[in-house]
Structures are given as C-alpha cells and as structure tokens.
Chain A
Amino acid sequence: MEPLLTARGIVKRYGRVTALDQSDFDLYPGEILAVIGDNGAGKSSLIKAISGAIHPDEGEIRLEGQVVNFRSPLQAREAGIETVYQNLALSPALSIADNMFLGREIRKSGPMGSIFRMLDRPKMAKIARDKLSELGLMTIQNINQAVETLSGGQRQGVAVARAAAFGSKVIILDEPTAALGVKESRKVLELILDVRKRGLPIVLISHNMPHVFEVADRIHIHRLGKRLCVINPKDYTMSDAVAFMTGAKVPPEAAAA
C-alpha cells in the first residue's frame, strides 16, 4: 500500500538548534499513527512542518504522491490536512460558532452574501451545534457563548470538533488529551476511533502511553530530531517504547517497517 503522506529528509534549524535532523515520516491511509518522543525530540516541529505552520529548511513532503510546499497553515488546510494544536488555536473572545468557522465562514446566499458579505449566522450555528452533539459535547448550552467562558475540556472538544468537521485527508492531533479529565479523554479517544472508521487517517502526538497503545495502529518514535523507528504496539510493551524513546534501549533495525 502507498503511504498517503510522506516526509523525507526534513531539516529545521532555529539558530544553532537543530530541531529536525533529516527526519522521515510516513502515514498510511486509514491508520492511526502515534508519534511519541521525549520533550525536545522535535515532535512538534515535525508536525508543524507537515501542517504548514513552519517551513522546513530542507526535505520534501508528499501528499498522495504529489510534492507539497505549504507556506501557511491555510494552504495545508486547503489541501485537506486539519490540525489541532497544543495551544488549541482558538480565539478566546469569539463565540464557539465563530471559532469553528474562523477562516472559512459561510456567507448568506443571494445578494446579502455576495454584495454585503453578510455571514449566515444561523447556518453556522446549526452546523456547529450538530458537530458538537456528534461528540456528545452538548453540555455546552449556548453556541454563541465566548470560548473563554468554557472549561479546558470543552475548549478541547470545540477544537477537535472543528478538525473532524473540516479535515478531508489527514487529521493531526497534538496532545489532545493532555488537559482533559478521565471522562473527557475517553470521549476524545472514542472520537479518534470514530474518525478512523470514516476512513480518515490520524496522526496522534501524545505522552500518554496507555492512550497511545490503546488506539494506535503504528507508533513512530522520535528521538534527537529523527525518526528512530516505527513499531507495532502489539509487538512491544509500553516500557519498551519508553526505553526506545529515552535511549535506554536500542530498537532492532528491522522493526522500522
């Protein structure tokens, strides 16, 4: 099977610091790929390079075999790659509905939309409400309340709902359960599996080993700015994975499937 999204020899330097050192990456259709690694291993930089938030100094990224060269997150989004960033990328003072449609607002049909550029608020509110209900997040009473009045878990829900609603090829989740309680984490994990069922591949960056081993089909272990290896969670234990990513153990090269 051909990989959907690949990266080869990605290099990113910040001044004297090399965040990514000839890193590779492969995502296959319909899979959940977990990316794990120590703090500072370059996971976030790798994800940002794929999602267009940073521009790598060297290397090549291909989506469905075509070389892509994202200059901004907007271009990655237009190509169908949707990302939930660790800092959520929500605007606190705007409403839930406004946030979900930020950057891709729906205008009213007819002259009110085409000439006066009027937003179709009722339609956006309805879609937003439907998407949040799908995730079981309708404890949010008012779709027009400002995001800053929501709890951390609810904000995460809004961000994930936005990605799931608009992602057409790849969804990237950066630490989606880090700020969540037990119940809310469970919901997000169910949502991740739900999204995979619809055929969308997911990249999951997480420090939470039980979550990673539960949902991931393959685990990409990042170490010192490189892909160290890719393992199948069925063949290894959590402590093996932690040993690989911290350098306590050297992985068998053959495992880099």
Chain B
Amino acid sequence: MTSVQEFEKTLDQSDKSVASFEDRSPLRRIQHFLHSTPAAIPAIVLIFSIIVFGVLKGERFFTAGTLTLILQQIAVVGILGAAQTLVILTAGIDLSIGVIMVISAVVMGNCAVTYGMPAPLAVAAGFVTGTLCGLLNGFLVSRMKLPPFIVTLGTWNIVMAANFIYSANATIRRADIETAAPLLGFFGISLKLGSAVFTLGVIMMVITVIVLWYGLNHTAWGRHVYAVGDDPEAAELSGIRVKKVLLGVYGLAGAIAALAAWVSIGRNGSISPSWAVTDYNLQAITAAVIGGISLFGGRGSILGTLFGALIVGVVSMGLNMLGADPQWKVLLTGVLIISAVGVDQWIRKVAG
C-alpha cells in the first residue's frame, strides 16, 4: 500500500456503488443493440421490403422462382460488394473495383478463346490480373500514402482505358466460350429445386460472404482490418503492420473482383469489354453503405452488405413487377443510402 496523500484520506469512506443505467429509455436500448449488432437494420429493412412487395403483389412475388431470380440478379454485385466492404472497413474506398472485374473477365476470355490457353490457366490469368490491379491500389495507398479516393479514381480511369485498348472493344461471343472453354461459364450452371433456381454463382456469393465473415470475426487478420479502419495510428502503436494489412486488403479485393468476373461470365454467357461503362463500382458501394458499413471505417458487418445487395434486388424486382418507372428504383436507392448513413451517425453517438 502506498503512503496515501492527505487529500486522499477520505477515500476509504467513499461511496462504493457503481454508476448504473437501469432507467435507460427504450430508444437508448435500441441504440445500444444496433451498436453491437450492425447487420440488424439492413436485415429489418430487407424483411420489411419483402413484406411490402409481397402484400402489393401477393402470390406472384412470393414464388420460389421470383425470389431466386433476385438472388441471381444480385450475385455479381453481392460479390463485388463483399470486396468493397473489406476496403471500406479500412476507411478506404475502391472506385476501380468494377473495371478491375471487367478487365479480369476480358483477360479470362481472351486467354481461353483468342490465345487458346487451357481454361484453368485462363481463369488463373484473370485472377492474377485482378489481384495485380488491387495490389497497385494497395501499394499507392499504403506506401505512397495517397488518399484511397484519389488513387482508385485514377486507377478506375487507367484500368478502364487499358481494358478498351487491350480488347479493342471486341465482344467474345457465348458460342466461342462454350466451345473453347466451358469452364468459364461454370458459375452459370443452375440447380433446380422445384421452381427455385440456384446458379452456382449465387452459391459462390453466399460462400464468399461466409468465408469473409469468418475471416473478419474469428481471425487475427480480421481484427486487424477493423483496427486499421478504426484508428490507424492506434493500430500501429499496438504493433499492427498497418501497411501490410492495407496492401493485403486491396490485393484481396482485386482477387475477389476477379471471382466476380468469373461469376458474371457465367451469368451473361458472353464477355463484353463495354461492361466497363456500367457503374458496378457504385453499385458495390451502395450495397455496402445500405448494409450499414460505415464509410469512416472500422464499423459494420459484411453480412449487412449481403442484405444491402438483397434490398436493392428486392426493391428493383418489386417495382418492376408493379410496372413502375425504373427511375423509382434509382430514387428509392438514393433515399436508402442517405437513411443508412443517417442511422450510422446516430448509432455512433452511443460512444459519446
């Protein structure tokens, strides 16, 4: 025991009770629950939107065929969203993820059809391309210390242009792929259970999310990804190699984009370099943000991203069946994005 100082003498008689928060209002409790369970809101919104369209469209919406068609439509964006989630968790952003996917698909197709390489090698070449693009982003962000937004804005343009120059914007036709390398269309194979149709692409999306969820929550690597996004300086002082984590995350995002490329070949049949003008990157960010992944990093669950992609899929299918102008889907997506960020800000106040 230390020699207690004069002003501390009364400490022994001090009140031992600990501050308690029994009278927390229901709202505060909800806030705390959402703080510890970030995927809850997108899950609730998803169930709500399914119910709304179910009521409006009745049995036509609630068929196994319709619901599994939604899954098929979101498989590619779901996988890209998973890659985007990793990057956003580190407080970064990857605007180039969509065009990395497209160039990976073009490389796979060209290797198999134009150069006549064996299909597994062609797929591997696509993965190498995607990973290298991701590592370039990672190098510029972690070593050159450039802001992720600027880096990936640059590589978005660079990769898109490289894609058009390399491919001369020539589409690789479905028939050519089917004869030269059926493996490229692997993820288009579908399994039928009654009227439910699951493509291997849909199953791959679910597996990707589950594997990443495991990695993020049950391995040291995942804890480090969250810590880096939360406070990179604190992470560095805690002994985490922040640069290595960042490089790895961008590289992995590139590899997952190549996986999305393979899945999208299965879905579309053909390969077209002009996919590069589709806003896949923004769709992936939308899925992550609606799914409750905080753009400030370190917060959110990758399951939320899957729900986010599903919400967009359900809304667009539902409005489509109601015969609404497709622009309503775009409008509603915008409302969802802003609401999701608003809720994120509110949940964060739990700390204050």
B35 neighbours in A (Cβ, 8 Å): 146, 149
Contacts A89-B237, A182-B11; is A148 near B2 (CB within 8 Å)?
no
Chain B: minimal CB distance from A116 (Å):
8
B192 neighbours in A (Cβ, 8 Å): none
Contacts A102-B223, A105-B220, A139-B18; is A214 near B2 (CB within 8 Å)?
yes
Contact residues, B287-318 vs A (CB, 8 A): 298-299
- Are A118 and B234 in contact, CB atoms less than 8 angstroms apart? no
- Are A214 and B237 in contact, CB atoms less than 8 angstroms apart? no
A68 neighbours in B (Cβ, 8 Å): none
Closest chain B residue, CB of each to CB of A193: B2
B298 neighbours in A (Cβ, 8 Å): 91-93
Interface-side segment among A7-15, A72-80, A225-233: A72-80
Interface-side segment among A22-30, A35-43, A183-191, A244-252: A183-191
B128 at the interface (CB under 8 A from A): no
Contact of B2 among A90, A99, A189 (CB under 8 A): A189
Q: In the complex, what distance in Å separates the CA atom of A15 from the CA atom of B151?
A: 28
B3 neighbours in A (Cβ, 8 Å): 214
- Are B8 and A149 in contact, CB atoms less than 8 angstroms apart? no
A242 at the interface (CB under 8 A from B): no
B241 at the interface (CB under 8 A from A): yes
Chain A: minimal CB distance from B100 (Å):
26
B218 at the interface (CB under 8 A from A): yes
Highest count of chain B CB atoms <10 Å: which of A83, A85, A93, A189: A93
Contact residues, A115-174 vs B (CB, 8 A): 116-119, 121, 139, 145-146, 148-149
- Are A89 and B238 in contact, CB atoms less than 8 angstroms apart? yes
- Are B234 and A89 in contact, CB atoms less than 8 angstroms apart? yes
Contact residues, B1-27 vs A (CB, 8 A): 1-5, 7-8, 11, 14, 18
Interface-side segment among B180-188, B225-233, B268-276, B328-336: B225-233
- Are B237 and A119 in contact, CB atoms less than 8 angstroms apart? no
A195 at the interface (CB under 8 A from B): no
Q: In the complex, what distance in Å separates the CA atom of A179 from the CA atom of B290?
A: 38
Q: How many residues of B contact A (CB 8 A)?
A: 36
B219 at the interface (CB under 8 A from A): yes
- Are A118 and B236 in contact, CB atoms less than 8 angstroms apart? no
B171 at the interface (CB under 8 A from A): no
Q: In the complex, what distance in Å separates the CA atom of A87 from the CA atom of B350?
A: 20
- Are B11 and A98 in contact, CB atoms less than 8 angstroms apart? no
Contact of A103 among B8, B239, B350 (CB under 8 A): B239
Cβ-Cβ contact count across A and B, 8 Å cutoff? 101
A119 neighbours in B (Cβ, 8 Å): 218-220, 223
Contact of A87 among B214, B233, B235, B239 (CB under 8 A): B233
B172 at the interface (CB under 8 A from A): no
Contact of B8 among A53, A87, A91, A186 (CB under 8 A): A186
- Are A102 and B7 in contact, CB atoms less than 8 angstroms apart? no
A215 at the interface (CB under 8 A from B): yes
- Are B11 and A186 in contact, CB atoms less than 8 angstroms apart? yes
A4 at the interface (CB under 8 A from B): no
- Are A215 and B2 in contact, CB atoms less than 8 angstroms apart? yes
Contacts A91-B238, A182-B7; is A107 near B220 (CB within 8 Å)?
yes
B319 at the interface (CB under 8 A from A): no
Contact residues, B232-254 vs A (CB, 8 A): 233-241
Closest chain A residue, CB of each to CB of B14: A183
Chain B: minimal CB distance from A2 (Å):
28
- Are A94 and B223 in contact, CB atoms less than 8 angstroms apart? yes
- Are A92 and B5 in contact, CB atoms less than 8 angstroms apart? no
Contacts A73-B236, A89-B237, A94-B226; is A117 near B220 (CB within 8 Å)?
yes
Q: In the complex, what distance in Å separates the CA atom of A89 from the CA atom of B231?
A: 8
B221 at the interface (CB under 8 A from A): yes
B226 neighbours in A (Cβ, 8 Å): 91, 93-94
Contact of A102 among B1, B36, B227 (CB under 8 A): B227
- Are A93 and B239 in contact, CB atoms less than 8 angstroms apart? no
A77 neighbours in B (Cβ, 8 Å): 239
- Are B11 and A183 in contact, CB atoms less than 8 angstroms apart? yes
Chain A: minimal CB distance from B217 (Å):
9
Q: In the complex, what distance in Å separates the CA atom of A182 from the CA atom of B14?
A: 11
Q: In the complex, what distance in Å separates the CA atom of A148 from the CA atom of B234?
A: 13
Contact of B234 among A91, A139, A146, A149 (CB under 8 A): A91
Contacts A88-B234, A93-B299, A103-B239; is A118 near B2 (CB within 8 Å)?
no
Contact of A92 among B1, B14, B230, B240 (CB under 8 A): B230
A210 at the interface (CB under 8 A from B): yes
Q: In the complex, what distance in Å separates the CA atom of A87 from the CA atom of B232?
A: 13
- A85-B237, A89-B233 known; 19 new pairs, CB 8 Å cut-off, are A72-B241, A90-B234, A91-B227, A91-B231, A92-B231, A92-B351, A93-B226, A93-B298, A94-B226, A94-B230, A102-B238, A102-B239, A103-B224, A104-B239, A117-B220, A119-B218, A119-B223, A146-B351, A214-B2
5 nearest A-B residue pairs (beta carbon): A103-B239, A89-B237, A148-B351, A74-B239, A105-B220
Which of B's residues lie within 8 Å of A, judged by CB?
1-5, 7-8, 11, 14, 18, 35-36, 214, 218-221, 223-224, 226-227, 230-231, 233-241, 298-299, 350-351
* 21 pairs, A vs B, C-beta closer than 8 Å: A72-B239, A73-B239, A74-B240, A83-B237, A85-B237, A87-B233, A91-B238, A93-B226, A93-B299, A94-B226, A94-B227, A94-B230, A98-B223, A102-B224, A103-B238, A105-B223, A107-B220, A118-B219, A149-B351, A186-B4, A215-B2
